[in-house]
């Protein structure tokens, strides 16, 4: 089968493109070039907004997007316990809604022009005070974007709100900002580019309804031109209506990603309007075919020409040297109100290939395209890209630039812990750095389009990505999730994500759904699957498309619609249920098989519970993996959600089925919401890393699996148990060694060799005595690594360590400062839970504190935080240059400090 793969240039502040080429029968070989381009006329308007919760008092205008079904009083999100500003039950009896005025925003992404929406007459909401320039918003809260209105809390301690993180993310929110549009922009096209708004965004400019976008995770553009008044101040107002019970996890609330004002000449490159395909790629050369779609918003025929030059980028993303290739100038005549596609081609010799570290490097280039009309430049794009070759082989899995790369991936939700859903580049980068240290090389965007900047990071750092669009189709998972708008918006939302993201070299496949209810529906469900997969192929024939399945079996219809068999949990099998890998392999021998969600192991960092299970995988039950009093889960890493398995069980299944391409673990980091098994908690227990970014013991179990050449041995539990003297206290060791001997106070506990399908060393009958535990390991009969843990003393002092001692003073750059509770000898006290008070001097600000404890309902902005098993976290930013001093104090432990420098 031959599949032509494409690369495209994208519009907004950042624009992306990718070129891939697919060859082979069962394997799909892709040669990719993915640019990220910068529109010179896009300006951030993310600062200096005013924000208020709720609609104006006494509002009589109906501002709802559409009628919503009432929430079942017996379900999660019941209204009886709802805070005052939350959604309310309504009896809508034919009330007018905004939907007819919002739907036309989808038209650019609806292929069939006959299905385009026609905007009705009228101006709904035009009489609302909040959209008027005269309204005085000085009493509103001043905020900069990205902004998550719910993350400050307080947490909702009572009621069924665990699924959404116990934070008040639902309700109405208004944002206002004036736009100074200069007189020189008269006659130009003016656009609002929103990277993410949670959710049901409706936009007014100068009191006129512009449009909107319901899906909170997608980026969108609105044309402000008919409503803008160049040469004066323009009043922008955005209303969000975030439903209750709209998600299975914490969605956040607000304008939680960046917003840009894009001003363009009437003739300009359209939104996400370019495509580059590389039909041939080798180490010697790559053929780059560029097509660029130009829009003519004017009323006259336009004669234009485009020239493009390609440059190499250094590791910091800066252009270097002279052009490495050029694309010959192309020209076109564009009718008024029409589009034109310009095509060109060039050869890139000896391309530096993009690939995942550590064996490859994420090299990139930049293509600078210049659009000229009448002898003058009217648009310029800087487009970053990478060249790569990818094959999908059903026997081996994923092959990148000729090298077999097992997928060592994680799932991550979009929140960033204590700073919430508001995207922050440094926070996301820190997560990726921690995951890379563990050995991860891939990320699945669960279960929605990510922030564009996150994909820029995965491009830069060399992660492989599965980009995902929906968690539900027509069948609901929660009363107010995407199923309410799927019929009207699925095509526009899917095409929008594909056009925005298709140019990233890090993305290797698309996912059109996660565990959708339509798995059960035979032909009806398969029909939807075929439609979505066809859209993915049409917008991007360069990549495979899949959907994650947790129910569908090999003889059902939905698996026939996808290019890749993506199984959640059922590949390895769930306690007593036979794994489904062999059945899918027999039914689909020409398709790659992978685990889109594996494990879902549960644990609380540093919480060890006794007795310890003898099995390698079991459910969390009272006093068997879980403590019903403290709501903590044992850190021996032997327990999982009822639908999941421990890593040990997953790897045994993978190793017995070597054709499996790899896994995306559920999850890399703990996340807000879905706190299985204790729904009174704020955050999940499934992360390999806790919510604060501190690794759990499972981190080293995965590191041993994913970095087999790294010489280390990790011992658990800690060895400070004053109440367990003389009691059995099992000791486990995580290491990639194949043999190990354990010593307690110098006395051998026996030497163990791993057997087939064993991934840890365990001594289950060690009797606790204070002192020292030491392990000595071997690999291939050669010494490998040793490690020692000792009984520590009582808490005596504190320490602070900043992950970065110098940060930018832009109010966005962050320093993550770790607090440790230490004994007199400087060892972390593993069960310490003292309350820590943080203070700050200088131009810095404490953004949030945390400790990784899923049961901690102290609001994140609090400067007082209990340590959790010896650790706590403070997050610091700066708005001006200078020296910052962060101090920490605890009663009886004194004070400590750390210095951070903020520079312009």
| Residues annotated as catalytic (active site), given as ranges | 515, 597
Are the C-beta atoms of 44 and 289 separated by less than 8 Å?
no
Distance CA 855, CA 868 (A): 10
Classify residue 393 by its DSSP letter. E
Distance CA 601, CA 579 (A): 17
**Non-local CB neighbours of 222 within 8 Å, separated by 6+ positions:** 105, 191, 192, 194, 203, 210, 211, 212
Distance CA 146, CA 452 (A): 13
Chain centroid to CA 686? 16
Please work out, in degrees rounded to the nearest 5, the angle formed at the alpha carbon of residue 700 by the alpha carbons of 696 and 706: 130
Beta-strand relationship, 844-850 and 28-33: unpaired
Please work out, in degrees rounded to the nearest 5, the angle formed at the alpha carbon of residue 144 by the alpha carbons of 138 and 146: 140
Largest CA distance in the chain: 90
For the chain, how far is it from start to end, CA to CA, in angstroms? 54
- CA-nearest of 689, 398, 431 to 566 is 398
- CA-nearest of 640, 542, 650 to 596 is 650
Beta-strand relationship, 739-744 and 772-779: antiparallel
Distance CA 311, CA 286 (A): 14
Coil, helix or strand for 213?
strand
Beta-strand relationship, 593-599 and 662-666: parallel
Distance CA 374, CA 302 (A): 9
Distance CA 243, CA 401 (A): 45
Number of neighbouring beta carbons within 10 Å of residue 7? 33
Distance CA 841, CA 844 (A): 7
Which helix H or strand E contains 454, and what residues bound it?
A: helix 452-461
Q: How many CA atoms lie within 13 A of 195 on its CB side?
A: 29
What is the four-CA torsion angle of 77, 78, 82, 88, rounded to 10 degrees? 100
Distance CA 371, CA 13 (A): 17
Task: Extract the runs of DSSP E, i.e. beta strands, from 23-106.
Answer: 28-33, 36-39, 42-44, 49-53
Distance CA 438, CA 698 (A): 10
Residue whose pair of structure tokens reads 């004994």 in the numeric block: 823
- CA-nearest of 710, 733, 732, 759 to 438 is 710
Classify residue 120 by its DSSP letter. P
DSSP 157-205: -SSS-GGGTTS---EEEEEEEEEEE-GGGTTSEEEEEES--BS-EEEEE
């Amino acid at each position: 089968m031959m599949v032509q793969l494409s690369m495209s240039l994208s519009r907004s502040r950042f624009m992306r493109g990718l070129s891939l080429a697919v060859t082979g029968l069962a394997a799909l070989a892709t040669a990719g070039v993915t640019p990220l381009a910068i529109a010179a006329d896009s300006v951030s308007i993310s600062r200096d907004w005013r924000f208020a919760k709720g609609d104006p008092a006494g509002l009589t205008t109906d501002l709802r997007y559409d009628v919503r079904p009432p929430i079942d009083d017996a379900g999660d999100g019941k209204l009886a316990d709802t805070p005052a500003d939350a959604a309310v039950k309504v009896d809508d009896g034919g009330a007018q809604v905004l939907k007819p005025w919002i739907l036309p925003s989808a038209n650019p992404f609806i292929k069939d022009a006959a299905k385009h929406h026609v905007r009705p007459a009228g101006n709904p909401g035009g009489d609302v005070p909040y959209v008027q320039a005269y309204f005085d918003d000085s009493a509103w809260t001043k905020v900069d974007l990205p902004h998550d209105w719910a993350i400050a809390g307080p947490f909702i301690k009572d009621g069924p709100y665990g699924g959404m993180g116990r934070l008040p993310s639902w309700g109405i929110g208004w944002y206002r900002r004036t736009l100074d549009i200069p007189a020189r922009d008269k006659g130009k096209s003016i656009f609002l580019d929103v990277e993410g708004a949670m959710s049901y965004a409706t936009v007014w400019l100068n009191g006129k309804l512009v449009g909107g976008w319901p899906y909170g995770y997608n980026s969108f553009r609105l044309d402000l031109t008919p409503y803008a008044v160049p040469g004066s101040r323009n009043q922008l107002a955005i209303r969000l209506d975030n439903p209750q019970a709209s998600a299975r996890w914490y969605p956040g609330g607000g304008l939680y990603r960046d917003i840009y004002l894009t001003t363009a000449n009437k003739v300009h490159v359209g939104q996400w309007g370019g495509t580059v395909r590389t039909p041939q790629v080798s180490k010697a050369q790559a053929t780059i075919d560029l097509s660029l779609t130009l829009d003519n918003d004017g009323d006259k025929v336009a004669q234009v020409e485009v020239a493009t030059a390609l440059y190499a980028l250094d590791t910091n993303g800066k252009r270097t040297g002279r052009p490495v290739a050029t694309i010959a100038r192309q020209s076109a005549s564009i009718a008024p109100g029409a589009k034109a596609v310009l095509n060109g081609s060039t050869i890139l010799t000896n391309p530096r290939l993009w690939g995942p570290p550590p064996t490859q490097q994420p090299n990139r280039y930049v293509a600078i395209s210049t659009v000229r009309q009448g002898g003058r430049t009217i648009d310029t794009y800087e487009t970053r890209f990478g060249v790569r070759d990818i094959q999908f082989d059903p026997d081996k899995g994923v092959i990148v630039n000729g090298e077999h790369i097992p997928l060592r991936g994680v799932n991550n939700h979009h929140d960033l812990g204590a700073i919430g859903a508001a995207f922050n580049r440094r926070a996301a980068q820190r997560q990726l750095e921690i995951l890379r240290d563990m050995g991860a090389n891939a990320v699945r965007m669960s279960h929605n389009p990510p922030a564009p900047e996150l994909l820029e990071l995965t491009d830069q750092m060399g992660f492989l990505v599965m980009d995902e669009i929906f968690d539900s189709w027509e069948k609901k998972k929660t009363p107010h999730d995407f199923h309410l708008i799927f019929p009207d918006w699925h095509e526009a939302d899917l095409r929008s994500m594909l056009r925005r993201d298709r140019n990233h070299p890090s993305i290797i496949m698309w996912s059109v759904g996660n565990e959708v209810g339509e798995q059960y529906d035979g032909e009806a469900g398969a029909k939807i699957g075929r439609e979505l997969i066809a859209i993915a192929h049409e917008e991007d024939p360069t990549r495979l498309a899949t959907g994650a399945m947790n129910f569908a079996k090999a003889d059902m219809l939905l698996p026939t619609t996808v290019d890749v068999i993506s199984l959640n949990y059922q590949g390895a099998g769930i306690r007593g249920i036979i794994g489904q890998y062999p059945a899918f392999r027999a039914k689909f021998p020409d398709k790659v098989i992978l685990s889109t969600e594996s494990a879902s192991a549960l644990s609380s960092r540093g919480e060890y519970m006794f007795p310890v299970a003898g099995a390698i995988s079991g459910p969390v039950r009272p006093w068997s993996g879980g403590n019903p009093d403290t709501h903590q889960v044992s850190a021996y890493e032997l327990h999982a959600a009822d639908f999941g398995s421990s890593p040990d069980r997953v790897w045994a299944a993978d190793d017995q089925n070597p054709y499996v391409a790899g896994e995306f673990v559920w999850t890399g980091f703990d996340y807000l919401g879905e706190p299985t098994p204790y729904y009174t908690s704020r955050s999940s227990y499934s992360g390999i890393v806790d919510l604060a970014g501190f690794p759990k013991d499972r981190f080293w179990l995965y590191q041993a699996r994913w970095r087999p050449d790294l010489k280390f041995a990790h011992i658990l539990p800690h060895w400070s148990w004053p109440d367990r003297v003389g009691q059995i206290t099992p000791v486990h060791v995580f290491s990639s060694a194949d043999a190990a001997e354990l010593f307690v106070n110098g006395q051998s506990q026996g030497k163990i060799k791993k057997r087939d399908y064993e991934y840890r060393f365990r001594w289950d009958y060690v009797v606790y005595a204070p002192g020292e535990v030491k392990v000595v390991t071997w690999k291939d009969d050669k010494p490998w690594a040793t490690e020692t843990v000792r009984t520590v003393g009582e808490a005596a002092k504190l320490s602070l360590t900043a992950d970065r001692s110098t940060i930018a003073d832009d109010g966005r750059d962050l320093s993550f400062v770790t607090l440790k509770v230490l004994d007199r000898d400087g060892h972390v006290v593993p069960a310490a839970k003292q309350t820590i008070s943080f203070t700050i001097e200088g131009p810095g600000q404490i953004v949030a504190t945390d400790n990784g404890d899923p049961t901690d309902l102290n609001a994140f902005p609090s400067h007082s935080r209990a340590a959790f098993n010896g650790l706590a976290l403070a997050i610091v930013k700066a708005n001006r240059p200078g020296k910052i001093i962060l101090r920490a104090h605890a009663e009886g432990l004194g004070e400590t400090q750390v210095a951070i420098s903020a520079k312009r």
